[in-house]
Structure 1
Amino acid sequence: MTKHWPLLKRAARHQVSYRSLTQDDMPFLRRLYRSTREAELARVPWSEPEKQAFIDMQFNAQHAHYQQHYPDALWLIIEQSGLPIGRLYLERWQSEHRIIDIALMPDMRGSGIGSALLGDLIEEASEDGKAVGIHVEKMNPAMSLYRRLGFETVEDKGVYDLLRWEPVS
């Protein structure tokens, strides 16, 4: 599998770049992960230390799972003007580019950056004649973005849908 970084054409217009994840990024990644779970946390009657312990446990489990099951993935930090604003975990398979995870900090959501990043990933996969796949929680607000970009549900996985974008043949 090729280990080159994803295309940055549309996203570069937002001063976005990638760099490899390092151990020093773990505190940022925990904050980012928590930001994706705030709606759930708001519904539970836990204390702040209990919420943080839950987040730490879930983050650690997710990170270990990703590392184990996607050994050839790119583990990238998304930066804007040199500051971390998100993450992209991507593995390129024979027939598909699988987005393992993509997330932006709350203040970056809705700014067009996610759409630009996904557009670049779609363009790269299309040039390779490959599909793009991603698991997305059914209640994820970004679901409408995926639909707008042409992703379709190919499998119902309970809480998640497996979405796929297919190149036009």
Structure 2
Amino acid sequence: MKITLRSAQEADLVYLLELRRLTMDEYLLQDGVDTSDEEHLFRIKYNFEDAKIILVNNIKAGLFKASYIAQSKQWYIYQVQIHPEFQGNGIGGELIKGLCMDALKQGCTVGLSVLKSNPAKTLYDRLGFTVVDSNCSEYEMVYKSKIMTQTLE
């Protein structure tokens, strides 16, 4: 299985809307979050310049979107969505682990938020993310290595 990333383009918007509906609507509805096309497209287009289409053997398999926030020295994962046909193959975990390792080399943290109803939280826990804040529908999580934590103390 060959996993590659390519920059998302306007022509991908129909695919990305379908992908978001397939992967997120269930959890958004459980947490009482807006599932309108307008809201989905707003989320898809937010930081669109950082959006990457995940390809598995040159077939669209999902979306990975992470942006660097210079003022906080943090990479922030905005979206990881794996098409249901490709879920369970470790794709999301591998991409997140790769970003975390790169971030550590740069002396940065990695942050993300996850809906409380989304089972992806167990993946984030397993990868070493910890909850640093929450609201009625989401957990805010951060990844830091023990080495980074020790140097910050």
- TM-score between the two structures when normalised by the length of structure 1: 0.75
- Give 1:8's aligned residue: none
Map of 1:1-169 to 2, 5 A cutoff? 14-39=1-26, 55-64=36-45, 66-67=46-47, 74-94=50-70, 95-169=73-147
After superposition, what is the alpha-carbon deviation per residue over 1:39-83, rounded to whole angstroms, capped at 9, x for unaligned? 35998xxxxxxxxxx54232123235x24xxx8x51211111111
Instruction: Tell me which amino acid in the other structure corresponds to 1:93.
Output: I
Q: How far off its partner does 1:156 sit? A: 0.7
State the Cα distance separating 1:101 from its structure 2 match. Answer: 1.1
Between Structure 1 and Structure 2, the one with more helix by share is: 2
Shift of 1:38: 4.3
Aligned identity (percent) is 26
Q: Is the 8 A contact 1:129 1:167 kept in 2?
A: no
Residue type matched to 2:24 in 1?
Answer: R
Taking structure 2 as the reference length, what is the TM-score of the superposition?
Answer: 0.83
Q: Gaps (5+ residues) in structure 1?
A: 1-13, 44-53
Deviation at 1:89, TM superposition (A): 1.2
Unaligned stretches of 5+ in structure 2? 148-153
SS at match of 1:139: coil
Instruction: State the Cα distance separating 1:165 from its structure 2 match.
Output: 0.4
Seen in structure 2, the aligned counterparts of structure 1 residues 167 and 41 have a Cα distance that, compared at 3 Å, is closer
